[in-house]
Structure 1
Amino acid sequence: MKRLLRTGLSFCLVLSILAGLMTLTSSCSSNSKSTTTEDSTHLSIGVMPSIDYLPIAVAEQQGFFSRPIDIVRFASPMERDAALQTGSVDASVTDYMGAMLLHSKGLKVSLPIACQGGFRMVFGQGKELSSIADLRNKHIGLSSNTLIDYATERALVDASGKPFPYTRVEVQKIPIRLEMLSSGELDAAILPEPFATIGASKGLKTIEVPNQLTVGITGLLFQDAALANKAEAVKSFVEGYNKAIAYMAQHPRQEWSAALEKLLGVPAELALKIPLPTYTEVTLPKAADLQPILEWMKNKGLVPATYTAEGLVRPIVAE
């Protein structure tokens, strides 16, 4: 394989994104370098570089959390999930597949909050590609056993709905996936926002993921121990999150776009252009949204055939 990061076009961009992903931020403390999962007054939230966690970033920026919230960023799903499994974080913004994988293995977790994100199919630099049909037998970047894997397989079908062949290229880290698109090493990949918009700003062509395959597929997964032992911190988080949703709806983006710049590493000029979903206050994920993903997982042998995800989706406070 060609060496990565040869392309001068986006070398500096990827370096800056990777540097940003290594930064830990704390809403109330500048010296919070160790995990705070043992401190009942703190919550640590693991996130990936995507707009799913923008309300958390805005709440942090605006000081809406009355208790300390540590935002811990990861560059790959594997790193994020490992942190939750080992107790390094109290909760993670994750896709429903990641949540069910952990739950099916017996990890005591709950999915009480639905998140809103955004994804687009991005085509490689210099490729004469413009539609899903053009991707037959092409090289597609993804990470296995993730929501992107599911959405890619479901999206790459012909007019009759029959899957067509393509070459899977395993690329765990999203910034590297973007770099490989920019250098022409990949023909296409589904990228979350803001990376899709960053790619478009570099001349890459993007289209919507078909059939809303990436709509309603992410949420906030909590360790049950954190919900039980950190009730006040969780309450503070929910209140701050809801305040951020209201603030974003009532104020122009210019007043809170710095959260996109600071916590997502997005250039200022792009922070105002990224298409954003309609964010909602804390609400339960819809069980129906999990089912097609669960069936795909069963067909792949990722979870037992008897697994139903029962008990995974439940409110923080009983209704």
Structure 2
Amino acid sequence: MMLAGCTNKGAVSGSAAGSGAGTGANARTVRMGTMMTEDFLPGWVAAKEQMFPASVNVEVTEFQSAQELSAAVTAGEIDMAMTDPQVSASLTAGGTPVRMRWIALGSTPQQGIFGIMVGPDSAIKTADQLRGASIGVGSNTVPEYVMDKLLEIQGIGEGDFTKEEIKKMPVRFEMMTSGKVDAAALPNSLLELGKINGCTVIMNDAQDSDGQNLSQSVVVVREAFEDEEGGRDAVADVARGWDLAAQAINSDPESYRDLLIEKTNLADPLKKTYPIAEYPASAKPTCDMIQPQLDWMLARGYLKNALFFDEQTGEFGPVK
């Protein structure tokens, strides 16, 4: 059920990861933050190969947790960030409004896959057998949203299984493989690792989402930064460099495998075989993608007040 409206109206915590340095005397510094995931590969490529225009000096900082990244955005230490719609909405609701500027991964269901996996000794073989199961997941995360929606499509409601709160992905993965939980909601890198170790993907959002595009990662900008003089031009320049890098990756993905391995700490068994994603260029989040996530957050109590997403401005607004 649609709960909120949508409109088309018009270094301890992080480590410096290098920069795409502008050479112009008046280059605008743009501080970008990211988790060490494949979603940010175009940003790393653009910085390394100097694809960002000379008008901007892009400084990239890598964070070990989403909480640390969010704290840096809230403190004004980061101007732009690669994150997800749920974090973006939470930042805005918490008093640090951000605009979602483009999709990092997830313009199609085949990009940025999430799914539900069971261990090598599990008797669970079908989605319906997840009824009564314990599923490891982190609250108010993309894996939880995707899990809920995939199970809902199968007619499995919230009371039909048990959510086990396991925030740390490696711990969640280990508990699933060892049988301490019946299943786990995981991102693609761990789904691929699990397959190598004899685990089984029961559902994922590339194949089992009934045509819905459930998950996206996005690049956001603090409204306060973008509204400064020259801010919008700087964001547009960053987008140009990002798109060039995305196109370069898509043209020859294997030439960027070493950088992907370096930046994302892929597990050894995946380093040579992990599929490099096709990255969208100039793809904008749409209301159809984002509004269901906001409604889910409200229903789960992760938002106190309903929000709508304006796909023309990239902003969140209160439902009145």
TM-score category, normalised to shorter length: 0.7 to 0.9
2:184 to 160, 181, 189: 189
Return the offset for 1:312. 8.7
2:88 to 92, 99, 110: 99
Report matched runs for 1:217-296 at 5 Å: 217-229=216-228, 231=231, 233-251=234-252, 253-267=253-267, 270-296=270-296
Return the offset for 1:159. 4.4
Between 87-96 and 41-50, report the one with greater CA deviation: 41-50
Return the offset for 1:219. 1.0
Between 102-111 and 206-215, report the one with greater CA deviation: 206-215
Report matched runs for 1:37-56 at 5 Å: 41-56=28-43
Letter in 1 for 2:140: N
Return the offset for 1:285. 0.8
Aligned equivalents of 2:167 and 2:313: distance in 1?
27
| Alpha carbons of structure 1 residues 244 and 220: separation in structure 2 relative to 1, 3 Å | same
| Alpha carbons of structure 1 residues 242 and 137: separation in structure 2 relative to 1, 3 Å | same
- TM-score normalized with structure 2 length: 0.76
Aligned equivalents of 2:36 and 2:298: distance in 1?
28
Contact 1:115 1:216 in 2 (8 A): no
SS at the partner of 1:42? strand
Contact 1:287 1:313 in 2 (8 A): no
Letter in 1 for 2:258: A
Letter in 2 for 1:25: A
1:145 to 140, 144, 149: 140
| Alpha carbons of structure 1 residues 276 and 258: separation in structure 2 relative to 1, 3 Å | closer
SS at the partner of 1:258? helix
User: Unpaired segments of 5 or more residues in structure 1?
Assistant: 1-20, 30-38
Q: Are 2:169 and 1:174 equivalent residues in the alignment?
A: yes
| Alpha carbons of structure 1 residues 201 and 306: separation in structure 2 relative to 1, 3 Å | closer
Q: Which runs of 4+ in 1 moved over 6 A?
A: none
Contact 1:112 1:314 in 2 (8 A): yes
Aligned equivalents of 1:226 and 1:198: distance in 2?
39
Return the offset for 1:265. 0.9
Q: Are 2:101 and 1:109 equivalent residues in the alignment?
A: no
Return the offset for 1:221. 1.6
Return the offset for 1:192. 1.8
| Aligned pairs, number | 285
Aligned equivalents of 1:122 and 1:294: distance in 2?
25
Letter in 1 for 2:257: S
Q: Percent identity?
A: 23
Aligned equivalents of 1:171 and 1:161: distance in 2?
21
Letter in 2 for 1:53: F
**1:123-149 CA distance string (max 9 Å, x none):** 234322233222222221211122222
Aligned equivalents of 2:285 and 2:127: distance in 1?
29
Aligned equivalents of 1:214 and 1:78: distance in 2?
25
User: Unpaired segments of 5 or more residues in structure 2?
Assistant: 1-12, 106-111, 316-320
Return the offset for 1:53. 1.6
- TM-score normalized with structure 1 length: 0.76
Computed over aligned residues only, the root mean square deviation of the Cα atoms, in angstroms, reads: 3.1
SS at the partner of 1:274? coil
Aligned equivalents of 1:153 and 1:100: distance in 2?
19
| Alpha carbons of structure 1 residues 216 and 120: separation in structure 2 relative to 1, 3 Å | closer
Determine which structure has the larger strand proportion and give its number.
2
Aligned equivalents of 1:297 and 1:92: distance in 2?
21
Contact 1:43 1:70 in 2 (8 A): yes
Return the offset for 1:161. 5.4
| Alpha carbons of structure 1 residues 310 and 208: separation in structure 2 relative to 1, 3 Å | closer
Report matched runs for 1:305-316 at 5 Å: 305-310=305-310, 313-314=313-314
SS at the partner of 1:259? helix
Partner of 2:19 in structure 1? 27
**1:144-168 CA distance string (max 9 Å, x none):** 1222222222223484454452222
Return the offset for 1:262. 0.8
SS at the partner of 1:53? helix
